[in-house]
Amino acid sequence: MNTTATALRFDGSRFRDVLGRFCTGVTIISAVHEGAPAGFACQSFTSLSLDPPLVSFAVSGTSASGARIERAGVFCATVLGADQADVCRRFGRSGGDKFAGVAWSPAEVTGSPRLAGGIAWVDCRIEKVFPAGDHRIVVGRVMDLSAPEGTEDAGPLLYYRGGFLGPQSGPRAVTGPVAAA
C-alpha cells in the first residue's frame, strides 16, 4: 500500500477488515460494448444527486469489464435480490462468459443489460469519470429506472465482511424509521 509522507497505522488487510463492516447491497453494473455484454459485481454503487438525477460507482483500474463499460458510455445497474448470491459470485470474478445462461433484457433507453431477478434497475449514461487511487469513480446520469411490480417486500442481497447476510436481514427485520419525521 502507498504510504505517502506519514507511515500508515494499518495495512491492506486491516483496511479491508474494518471497511468490510460497512454492510452494502450489491449491483451488477453492465453494458453492451461492441455487440457483447460486459458486467461486474459492484458494492460501491450509490445514489448521488436527485436534481439532476445522478448515481455513482467506483471501479478498479484493473477491471476489464469496467473498461469496456466506460467505452460503451452507458450502463445499467441491476440491484440484486436476496436469492441472487450465485449471480453475484459469477459477476464478482474475472474470466469465463459471465452472461452464459443469465437471462437479461435491454434497458429501454441505453440498451444496457437488465438482469432478470433483480429488485431494481437504474439505466444511465456516463456523465463523468474521476480518477481515485487505484479506482475510478464513475458518475452516471439516470435516464430511466424501474422496479418489478409486487417485489416491494423482496429482500436485497446484503454483502458484509466478505460474505452474504442471511434472510433474517430482509426488510421485515427493520423495526422502525431511522429518524423521526
Ligand X SMILES: Cc1cc2nc3c(=O)[nH]c(=O)nc-3n(C[C@H](O)[C@H](O)[C@H](O)COP(=O)(O)O)c2cc1C
Give the residues across from 77 on adjacent strands: 29, 122
Given candidates 31, 41, 77, 124, which one binds ligand X under the rule CB under 6 A?
41
Examine residue 47 and tell whether it contacts ligand X (CB under 6 A): no
Quick check: 66 binds ligand X (CB under 6 A)? Answer: yes
8 Å CB contact between 124 and 76: yes
Name which position in 31, 32, 59, 82 contacts ligand X (CB under 6 A).
59
* Count of residues that bind ligand X according to CB under 6 A: 19
- In contact, 135 and 120? CB cutoff 8 Å: no
User: Which of 23, 180, 26, 167 has the alpha carbon at shortest distance from 92?
Assistant: 26
Helices (H) and strands (E) in the chain, counts: 3, 12
The contact pattern for ligand X, residues 78-117, with x = CB under 6 A and - = no contact, is ----------x--xxxx-----------------------
- Is 64 one of the binding residues for ligand X (CB under 6 A)? yes
Of 92 and 111, nearer to ligand X (C-beta) is: 92
Distance, in Å, from the CA atom of 152 to the CA atom of 171, rounded to the nearest integer, reads 9
**Which of 75, 104, 121, 159 touches ligand X (CB under 6 A)?**
159
Grid cell 424509521 is found at 177
Peptide bond into 53 cis (omega under 30): no
Interface with ligand X in residues 8-27 (CB under 6 A): 26
Closest residue by Cα to residue 77 from 142, 5, 157: 142
Stretch that binds ligand X, among 8-16, 55-63, 117-125, 145-153 (CB under 6 A): 55-63
Residues of this chain that interact with ligand X (CB under 6 A) are 26, 40-44, 58-60, 63-66, 88, 91-94, 159
